[in-house]
């Protein structure tokens, strides 16, 4: 699994629907290619959870040298926000 897919799965677990879903296939593909990501207002989710998804959505593959750093940074900020504040 690549990091992009991890972000998509996290979004689906948190919101119960695919992050780029649109009315038709063409619109869905356009949203994927342009990384048109929006978070629904309901259900409300933490800023840390949204931050993790926003950070991993820009990483296309674990073969990207920055992937591990991005993922660790996102998880670190999420965990810190949940436990340190």
| Residue 16's CATH number | 1.10.510.10
Res 23 pLDDT > 90 = yes
What is the span of the domain harbouring residue 32?
3-84
Mean pLDDT within 41-48: 88
Helix (H) or strand (E) holding 31: helix 25-33
**Are residues 12 and 18 in contact, defined by beta-carbon separation less than 8 angstroms?**
yes
- Sequence-distant (≥ 6) Cβ neighbours of residue 70 within 8 angstroms: 3, 55, 56, 58, 59
- pTM as predicted: 0.69
Mean pLDDT within 47-72: 69
Task: Count how many domains the chain has.
Answer: 1
Phi first, then psi, for residue 41 (nearest 5°) are: -75, -30
């Amino acid at each position: 699994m690549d990091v992009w897919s991890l972000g998509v799965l996290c979004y689906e677990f948190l919101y119960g629907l695919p992050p780029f879903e649109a009315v038709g296939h063409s619109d869905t593909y356009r949203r994927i290619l342009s990384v048109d990501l929006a978070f629904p207002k309901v259900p409300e989710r933490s800023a840390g959870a949204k931050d993790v998804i926003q950070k991993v959505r820009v990483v296309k593959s674990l073969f990207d040298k920055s992937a591990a750093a991005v993922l660790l940074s996102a998880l670190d900020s999420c965990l810190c926000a949940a436990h340190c504040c």
